[in-house]
Amino acid sequence: MQTSTLKPVFRLSSFSKDILRTIAATSNVSDIKTDANLKSWKEIPGPPSLPLIGILHHFLPGGELQNFEIPGVVQRLFDKYGPLIKFEGMLRTRDIIVLGDPETSAYVLRSENWLPIRPGFFSLEHYRKEYKNGKGQNSRATGLITDHGEVWKDFRSTVNPVMLQPRNIKLYSSVLDEVAQDMIKRMKADRDEKNMIRNNFNVEMNLWALESIATVALGCRLNCLDHSLAEDSPAKQLIQCIHDFFIMADKLDFKPGLWRYISTPTYRKAMKLYERQENLTKYFVKKGVEQLKLNANQKSNNEKGVLEKLLEINEEYAYIMASDMLFAGVDTAANTMTATLYLLATHQDKQDKLREEILSKSIKRPYLKACIKEAMRMMPVVSGSIRTATKDYNLMGYKIPKGMDIVCSHREMSLMEKHYLRAQEYIPERWTAEKDDPLYYGNTNPLTFAPFGFGARSCIGRRIAELEIETFLTRVIENFKVEWFGPPPKLVQTSLIHIKGPFNFIFKDAK
Ligand code: HEM
């Protein structure tokens, strides 16, 4: 990788930096037409494949893909095979190319920035487009997560101006702060004599995330933080469903299985789970719409929230988008919040510095943003960006044919010392450092780190998630001195990287 030798020159100016990045990028990749001597993608290093079973045997005990659910396996594979790895598909799972090089990743992501296809969630796509169709329930659009091509583009360009407009998102500042303060009260009430939270911490963070995203998706409070909420309440059922969904989707979408040929028990279980989750979100969206109708005509256009605005533009899209917000915005925000709290609890100096910034009451809070960003670098909830190539590529001398899935492993790249100085350390200061500081984040390719993905297909909930997390983290640090004891929590990689616990947090009153 040329980045390190180019580093001193990078500092000349942002203009020359961009040019040099392009040169660095094109040394690993080039246009397919200019290079006739490419090797086949089959020659890319990776776990060797066998006839019929592909790479299945590597998942067995002793195999190099055993424990694939523990993050870290991919880094070991990069160490062994280099920054371009091939996983051959098996039992109709697809061939995948995994990239651990930022410049090559940037080249792919930027080249796919017109109508990008993000594969994955095949079983959900199957549920929404085929299974329901069999039941006569399919509509044309199924949502941003499962649609592609022109259908996706029409949906996305309709919802983008509403969902990404900072003015629309700012409307939620005070209600999200209300949710944060209610959550603080709940945490205070739920502490035991050791100042630990009695209830399952993971469920608690999910309840906060669901209550927060519901204010945006439905325009009303769900009251998930109410202590009288029953275990079988729709809110708790939905949280469980969303959590189970990511585990189930991983089983069906990325692991070998026969469901693509026959109706297996796991497949039937998944279809039931997806149906239950859909019915629960529909129940909440209906409730939200009814409440909005009750208060109709009482608000000026500037006061109208996301759901109201979407309903005026396209009712069908409004329903689908609200459901997908409840689905995509819960586990993601909850795990990011837990990761940030864990890293601040284990770095008391950083926590004190953050508390100082918060108590100063200054409107701009760069260190707050930096603490969250740095947590997402070290413990991201999504491990990388994935695209189905819409054209042939030359990547590092190999021909990657159109139609192949390419994964850019941001998690691993972000933890490599050659991209971030002291990469294994939690240093929020790297995101606020000046350009002449060796820690300065801009010394690496911006696409090394992409917690919300990239380009036209990037996370549509980004601004909402950032506001939710910043608001709640502010209240937590204002109210508690957060501590941690014992070893780090376990992480499990499914479609998301879940923090499994144990959650050894201590929440003492802040002085
Ligand atoms: C910290 C919290 C979150 C993280 C880390 C996160 C991360 C991501 C990532 C990595 C993607 C894929 C982007 C790509 O392929 O380039 C994505 C897509 C998406 N996210 Fe988020 N997300 C978060 C919160 C949310 C929230 C709160 C919502 C709800 C409003 C949401 C809704 C979506 C949707 C609908 C997509 C699909 C977008 C499309 O394909 O057009 N996410 N998210």
- What does the alpha-carbon distance between residue 155 and residue 166 come to, in Å, rounded to a whole number? 19
By most ligand atoms within 8 Å of CB, the mutation choice from 452, 463, 464, 496 for ligand 1 is: 452
Mean pLDDT of 111-131: 89
According to DSSP, the residues that pair with 407 across neighbouring strands are 98, 386
| CA 92 / ligand 1 centre spacing (Å) | 27
Mean pLDDT of 352-363: 95
Mean pLDDT of 60-86: 85
pLDDT at 35: 61
| CA 253 / ligand 1 centre spacing (Å) | 18
Whether residue 470 contacts residue 396, with contact meaning beta carbons closer than 8 Å, is answered with no
Whether residue 453 contacts residue 323, with contact meaning beta carbons closer than 8 Å, is answered with no
* CB-facing half-sphere around the CA of 105: CA atoms within 13 A: 30
pLDDT at 261: 83
pLDDT tens for each residue of 382-417: 999 999 999 999 999 999 999 999 999 999 999 999
| CA 457 / ligand 1 centre spacing (Å) | 9
459 annotated to a ligand binding site: yes
Mean pLDDT of 39-51: 88
Q: Is the pTM of this model over 0.85?
A: yes
Other CB atoms within a 10 A radius of the CB of residue 461 amount to: 22
Which DSSP string do the residues of 423-490 spell out, in sequence order?
Answer: TTS--GGGGT--TTSTT-GGGS-GGG--TT--GGGS-TTHHHHHHHHHHHHHHHHHHEEEEE-SSPPE
Q: In the chain, count of helices (H) and strands (E)?
A: 19, 12
Select the highest-mean-pLDDT range: 75-79, 99-103, 218-222, 230-234.
99-103
pLDDT bucket at 34, cuts 50 / 70 / 90: low
pLDDT tens for each residue of 277-289: 889 988 888 888 8
pLDDT at 281: 87
Q: What percent of the chain has pLDDT over 70?
A: 90
Helices 14-28 and 3-10, packing angle to 10 deg: 170
- What does the alpha-carbon distance between residue 150 and residue 106 come to, in Å, rounded to a whole number? 24
Mean pLDDT of 172-199: 96
By most ligand atoms within 8 Å of CB, the mutation choice from 459, 471, 497 for ligand 1 is: 459
pLDDT at 19: 32
Average pLDDT of the chain?
Answer: 87
- Given a cut of 80, whether residue 77 has pLDDT beyond it is yes
pLDDT at 2: 30
